[in-house]
Structures are given as structure tokens and as C-alpha cells.
Amino acid sequence: MQRLTELSYHDITIRLKKFGFKYYRPRKSSHELWVRDIDGKAVPVPH
């Protein structure tokens, strides 16, 4: 079984951009909301 590796904020945002996500807005607490325009999928990202 493969081990899961920890990703930095920078690595996560690069991968999200590669999949078509764009920064939308900050959320409450320490998260940001990233949204993909094609299907409206939203992903909260801890910052």
C-alpha cells in the first residue's frame, strides 16, 4: 500500500489550477474556497 504524502499549500494550489479551479474567496476560519467554472465544483483549502 502506498503512503500518503503531505502536500504544502503551494502544491495544492498548483494542482487545483491544473484541474481548472480558480480562487473564489476566503471562507470563515482559515480556509479558502476554490471553484471550477465548468461544473461549479467547490473545494475548501486550508491555508
Residue 27 has a pLDDT of 72
Annotate 4-38 with three-state secondary structure: CCCCCHHHHHHHHHHCCEEEEEECCCCEEEEEECC
With respect to residue 7, please indicate whether it lies within any of the assigned structural domains: no
Q: How many domains does the chain have?
A: 1
Residue 28 has a pLDDT of 73
Residue 5 has a pLDDT of 84
Q: What is the mean pLDDT of each run of 10 residues along the chain (47 residues)?
A: 86 96 86 94 90
Overall pTM surpassing 0.75 (yes/no)? yes
With respect to residue 41, please indicate whether it lies within any of the assigned structural domains: yes
With respect to residue 11, please indicate whether it lies within any of the assigned structural domains: no
Residue 15 has a pLDDT of 96
Asked if 47 contacts 9 with a C-beta cutoff of 8 angstroms, the reply is yes
Expressed as residue numbers, the domain containing 42 is: 21-47
With respect to residue 40, please indicate whether it lies within any of the assigned structural domains: yes
With respect to residue 36, please indicate whether it lies within any of the assigned structural domains: yes
With respect to residue 15, please indicate whether it lies within any of the assigned structural domains: no
